[in-house]
Amino acid sequence: MSSPDSPGWDPGLQNERTTLAWVRTALSFVAAGTLAGKQTGAGVTFAALVMASLAAAAVMVVTAERRYAHRYDRLAAGQHIVSLPAVAVTAAGTFVLGLVSLSIVLI
């Protein structure tokens, strides 16, 4: 039971865990891009894969922080939270990175 002064929901932990999960996903993008690049050897392909994975990770971290603030405001207003576009973009990015990694290993 919540008191009249409390918002009636956990003011940070669930939202914080979700944001940290996106940051971990971004770090795994960097690791996967670096490992895929190492399979190609040093050179332009390696640099391109590492830079692409770093760019994707940076976008994920920045948007995760923005979503954190947005979700906090929505929670405070008593609204529901769903971020299907972010999930779809991450799934597509993971799929593409997997295909690149698979093609590098098979070639």
Please indicate, yes or no, whether the overall pTM of this predicted structure exceeds 0.85: no
Q: Residue 104: what pLDDT?
A: 86
- CA atoms 71, 76, 82, 85: torsion sign: negative
What local confidence, expressed as pLDDT, does residue 14 receive?
Answer: 77
Handedness of CA 31, 37, 43, 44 (dihedral sign): negative
Question: What pLDDT score was predicted for residue 90?
Answer: 85
Sign of CA dihedral 72, 86, 31, 56: negative
Is residue 37 a contact partner of residue 49, using CB atoms and an 8 Å limit? yes
pLDDT (0 to 100) of residue 76: 79
Q: What is the pLDDT of residue 70?
A: 85
pLDDT profile of the chain (107 residues), mean per 10: 55 78 92 87 86 93 90 78 80 91 87
pLDDT at 1: 43
Q: How far apart are CA 98 and CA 107, in angstroms?
A: 14
